[in-house]
Amino acid sequence: MHKPFPHLAEPLDLGFTTLKNRVLMGSMHTGVEETGDWDRVADFFEARARGGAALMVTGGIGPNTVGAVLPGAALLQTPQELANHRKVTTRVQDAGGKIAMQILHAGRYAPNLECVAPSAIRAPISRFVPNALDTAGIETQLVDTAATAARAREAGYDGVEIMAGEGYLINQFLNTLTNRREDEWGGPFENRMRFAVECVRRVRAAVGADFIVMVRQSMLDLVPGGQSFDEVVTLSQALEKAGVTMLNTAIGWHEARVPTIAGSVPRAAFAGITARVRAQVSIPVVVSNRINTPELAEDLLMKGAGDMVSLARPFWRMPNLRPRHSAAGPGKSRHVSRAIRRVLIIPLSERSPPALSIRAPAMNANWPCGKPSARTGSLWSGPGLRGSWRPPQRRRGGMMSRCSRRRTGSVGS
């Protein structure tokens, strides 16, 4: 990586700690945590730490059961759960990597009757009408988020990533159609962004100054009622003042009709919006979405699109990213590109990633990607609600998932 990819190989100084290069492994919901086999979880992340990722982000961990992304989702609340997470962080750090835990409150996307949101408006991809949060309920979510961040530090994580994009709870507060409140948490944008900023303030106070606090910020909502670019910048600057270490890019909501990570989307299609936000803040910004090769990542860093590059599918398929790329050099990574272009379908006949055993019956029922298709023997990518599966529908060009017109994908971006 060092000779052909000098920008990717350059360390990133965060002040209190230094990342060894500019490669971030983006958050992916593998479903392995829900099996209870934390040795496999540790194997997954350790392999990728050795493979070259400077910083990795876990799948979304809910601050409470109400905000969990699926029934029975992994949490960090009990002493046993803390010990499970510590097993992962120890292995990663022994391998020379760093790892951040993503705190994700699903809001109205949570598949349970107790799900909450700024207003009682059902998501088009959910069966459940959320319960509108009152003032006490908002305080509960803030307290739980900060407490989860504190436990993440206790479990040995190097940082946390607060999910504030893709249509989840924080994003729902920012949107005028999902937030119809008339109190201090709704109305003008200053009020609608209050929840996001307060989350960061509470988290920073809970973890201290020498801990990575990253926010996965929605920089382009792609849904009605979404933020304007000026509002995105206003929030970015407010998050910086509240104590954020880094900003990571999120594009689109799960219910959006515009694809953002499917194979039909041009490479680095949304890097321009990240570059515009980066110019307005003084903290590192991560560029993401459809960045699948080191050559492209190197080019984006060289052009100033971001300070770090998020890669998810390359690490999903091939943990040893660094040796393959550094040995091959520019123009030699077509084998990686072919492996990760399969956005909608992963043939079961192929060798599965080490952390994903298709033969594990207990795991199949909760796979965030969906269920194998009886007709094609393939794994169909599910819609925004992880774990839900709908029969594939016939469209032009063959069979594809119902959400293929939107932002498909369960393994990150």
Pairing of strands 345-347, 398-400: unpaired
φ and ψ of 138, to 5 deg = -60, -45
Please, which residues bridge with residue 372 across strands?
379
User: 301 by DSSP, 3-state: which?
Assistant: helix
The DSSP symbol for 71 reads T
The DSSP element (H or E) to which 291 belongs, if any, is none
Separation between Cα atoms, residue 136 and residue 104, nearest integer Å = 20
Pairing of strands 345-347, 308-311: unpaired
- Those residues whose C-beta lies under 8 Å from the C-beta of residue 128, and which sit 6 or more positions away, are 108, 110, 111, 112, 113, 115, 122
The DSSP symbol for 107 reads G
Torsion, Cα of 51, 56, 58, 64 (10° steps): 160
Please, which residues bridge with residue 398 across strands?
395
Active site residues: 168
If 0-12 CB within 10 Å is exposed, 13-18 middle and 19+ buried, where does residue 43 land? middle
Using CA atoms, how far residue 349 sits from 21, 54, 286, 376, in Å, is 35, 32, 35, 11
Using CA atoms, how far residue 143 sits from 49, 61, 154, 310, 338, in Å, is 31, 15, 17, 29, 44
Task: Please report the DSSP string for 26-37 in residue order.
Answer: -----S-GGGT-
Pairing of strands 98-103, 159-164: parallel
Separation between Cα atoms, residue 213 and residue 289, nearest integer Å = 21
Residue 104's nearest CA partner among 138, 73, 60, 66 is 60
Separation between Cα atoms, residue 120 and residue 107, nearest integer Å = 11
How many other C-beta atoms lie within 10 A of the C-beta of residue 229? 13
